[in-house]
A and B are shown apart, each in its own frame.
Chain A
């Protein structure tokens, strides 16, 4: 089945540590996105990519980094510069008519 796979489902970060969240899609979509979700705040855009080897900052990019070396993959790194990383992270890709979402990664701080 086509879709978006995020891993891991749960992730814990220690102080000063960088962690990477995986996102893979087999929908053949060009555009991919990373959103952060906090309770009561809806979804906020971290980064997006329209094509391989190109990506743009969203509304809350500070403390995060991404890469897009393959069309299918768009990993997100939460760096030690992100002081409040605890949140639910959602990866998405878009067709010409809608956004498709992965099942998310819950990141918590130890």
Chain B
């Protein structure tokens, strides 16, 4: 069965510091991978996704993620964090993706706090 692990429940960084949020998945074949961000009391917004091709993907708001098959990881990075990045971040995996039903498995999330 597919699963997603986000090892860090809470992370605190200083504004301007670099950020890396970890995501490990369990799936036999090539997965479809996603990172979503959620502000308090709001829905989820897609930051970036990996379906195939270049293993380093660029997303919105200056985020990037790297797919490493050998490590079953899809870590999210940002070189310089802004106070507005404080939110909860979710990694998700799917075995396929189409216009019909798509079964996404979500991690438990990582809550990011940013110190001024």
Interface residues of A (CB under 8 A from B): 4, 6, 29-31, 40-43, 45, 48, 50, 56, 88, 90, 92, 94-104, 106
Is A31 in contact with B99, judged by CB distance below 8 angstroms? yes
Which 10 A-B residue pairings sit nearest by Cβ, starting from the closest? A101-B43, A42-B106, A43-B106, A101-B44, A42-B108, A96-B99, A103-B43, A50-B101, A50-B100, A98-B46
Give how many B residues have a beta carbon under 8 Å from the other chain's beta carbons: 25
Interface of B is mostly: loop
CA distance A99 to B35 in the complex (A): 11
CA distance A79 to B40 in the complex (A): 26
Seed contacts A42-B4, A96-B97; 8 additional CB < 8 Å A-B pairs: A30-B99, A42-B109, A43-B106, A98-B49, A99-B102, A101-B36, A101-B43, A102-B43
CA distance A95 to B49 in the complex (A): 13
B31 close to A (CB within 8 Å): no
**Chain B residues in 8 Å Cβ range of A106:** 41
**Chain B residues in 8 Å Cβ range of A95:** 99
* Chain B window 73-109, contacts with chain A (Cβ cutoff 8 Å), 1 for yes, 0 for no: 0000000000000000010000001111111101111
Interface of A is mostly: strand
**Chain B residues in 8 Å Cβ range of A45:** 103
Task: Pick the most buried of B9, B45, B102: most chain A CB atoms within 10 A of its CB.
Answer: B102
CA distance A56 to B44 in the complex (A): 23
A49 → B minimal CB distance (Å):
8
B59 → A minimal CB distance (Å):
12
**Chain B residues in 8 Å Cβ range of A96:** 97-99
CA distance A90 to B97 in the complex (A): 20
B70 → A minimal CB distance (Å):
25
Is A94 in contact with B102, judged by CB distance below 8 angstroms? yes
